[in-house]
Amino acid sequence: MPLPQRRHLAVPVAVLAVAGALGAIPGAGTAAAAPPAEFTPVSAAYGPPKGLTVKGQFLSYNDFHGAIDPPTGSGAVVNASGTSTPAGGVEYLATFLKRLRAEAKAEGRPTITAGAGDLIGATPLVSAAFHDEPTIELMNEVGLQVSSVGNHEFDEGVAELVRIQRGGCHPVDGCQDGDPYRGARFTYLAANTVDRKSGLPILPPIDIRYVDGVPVGFIGMTLEGTPSIVNPAGITGVRFTDEIETANKWSSVLKLFGVKAQVLLLHEGGSQATATPTPGVSDCAGFSGPLAPIVAGLNPEISVVISGHTHRFYSCKLPNSKGADTVVTSAGSNGQLITDIDYTLDRRTGRFTEITAKNVIVENGVPDGKGGWLRDAAGAYLRNPDTVDAAAKKVADKYRAAVAPIANRVVGSISADIVRTAGPAGESPLGDVIADAQLAYTRSAGAQIALMNPGGVRADLDADQSSGGETYGQVTYGEAFTVQPFNNLVVTQTLTGAQLKNVLEQQFPGFGGQTTQRILQVSNGLTYTWSASAAPGSKVSALTLNGTPVDPAANYLVTTNDFLANGGDGFTNLTLGTGRVTAPGFDVDALVAHLATGPIAPGPANRISTAP
């Protein structure tokens, strides 16, 4: 059976011309009835074939986030079906991908390996220190062929994403590892990221692969809401279009070119309902989220949606615009799972006739022979040398060695684990600590208050983590960077008390254009209460600073990162501040300086309270 072969259509000319002529496909964006609350693990059939068949396999993953090293702390395991399995690490991901490909090849199924965005961005120092070139090099090594962009692909702006795809040294830092950066060998797809001047996608919108002569089309895109969750400064020249309209537009283009088996790579998702025990990695229990109504509006030719963004695992079949089954999957995050999708194509019609999907855990531990996993004296899981891929490890080790002197430097200490898990009011112990760090960092500029976006807190601080051989409670620069990996600037500006209250009101949907509830983390001294039942714009009460009610007419110096100050996460009221001053360094430097005064205790998480 020949391997799948890639053919590049002349997208900028032929396909884009057809798409432009089509415009918005009639009926696109009109969702069907909401899907039912429960779905079974996925196995979809589309009737008997009308001719000979071709079998194939898709392997996929999403939200890798540069997780070259195996995750640690609470994220070290995949919790599913009542069990915990240590998983992740690129040398283990490579092994499992090769194993699954070999199994499919033995069954006559050629493999296409695909991603659903956020491969880069919000990455640990081993990748971020080199502008995520290590992750791309490793994605090339593990055999990724096509991926959608995600919101984090835009963390350093559109121009940097284009460089990541095409190659070339970084315009400021050059080729830091001494080797030329040759770009991604896989194809990034960005169907709904449109250049404002040309009106065309900034990267290819679609890709076509051939499976034993039968074409399979891929459409790739990020969520329409990307502008609200990335730094606005990097995306001024582009707009992000509706997921349903865009997917159906390019689906119709593919159909015009005779491609009737279609896969949507979409960086948007959903989640299974909370349950005890935790649902399995291939379950679809009580599925909900933005993905369901999107699928309900899709053309029936799109039979598979490989999704991401929510960092959850699931394997579902959801109804499309015609009420037929669409297979919908997500592989969690950080390379801890791989989705294995087997399918059959009808040679005569070019359509899928059968699809099955399951998630496979990328195990990295050593079994203890009793159904569990061996640990070292400190309680950390032992890594299994027998399942390491040597080629991937060689690439990863090059960058690990290069960054180790910086990453393993001890910068401070903590007295216990400090977690980012939020309580009922939306406040977390680590959020408190980071807000306090930014306030301390800018007190010399007169700062009185600091606010931190919860989505910018990317990992816990684990007291027993020992990535550089440090003792209990010591924190390395690499660990601090993993918590705050965005290199945001720290800015202080003046807001009136009325403006500050409006910023806090904008945490809730329905006020100031906000669409998603996002509770800002607040520094010591600022307290308030919010009520879920109150009307938008009136949810926040009892707002005080150091025990004194905030005066609507008074001025206050407020510190945030520049992502928030520029209106990120929908906080447009923060753009109304005046007299902006930028502190030296980055937000991680504020955290490092604070940790150096330690040991730092977990934040009390009692600054925000709720009322009926």
pLDDT at 232: 86
Question: Token digits for 384?
Answer: 């299994």
Contact (CB, 8 A) for 392 and 91: yes
Contact (CB, 8 A) for 449 and 503: no
Question: Token digits for 372?
Answer: 């569990």
State whether the Cα torsion 395-401-403-408 is positive or negative. Answer: positive
Tell me what the mean pLDDT of segment 295-312 comes to: 98
Helix (H, G, I), strand (E, B) or coil at 147: strand
Is 60 exceeded by the pLDDT of residue 14?
no
**Chain centroid, CA 237 distance in Å:** 22
- As a whole-number percent, the residues of the chain with pLDDT over 70 amount to 93
* 89-101 tens-digit pLDDT: 999 999 999 999 9
**Chain centroid, CA 412 distance in Å:** 29
Question: Token digits for 88?
Answer: 């992740």
Contact (CB, 8 A) for 450 and 57: no
pLDDT at 377: 85
Question: How many CB atoms lie under 10 A from the CB of residue 183?
Answer: 18
Confidence of residue 399 (pLDDT cuts 50, 70, 90): very high
Find, among 173, 601, 166, the residue nearest to 417 by Cα: 601
Is 90 exceeded by the pLDDT of residue 19?
no
* 470-485 tens-digit pLDDT: 999 999 999 999 999 9
Helix (H, G, I), strand (E, B) or coil at 321: coil
Strands 555-561 vs 449-452: parallel, antiparallel or unpaired: parallel
The Cα 383–Cα 23 span in angstroms is 52
* 489-503 tens-digit pLDDT: 999 999 999 999 999
pLDDT at 4: 37
Cα→Cα distances 98→140, 204, 364, 455, Å: 13, 27, 15, 34
Beta pairing partners, 358: 340
The Cα 65–Cα 350 span in angstroms is 35
Beta pairing partners, 383: 365
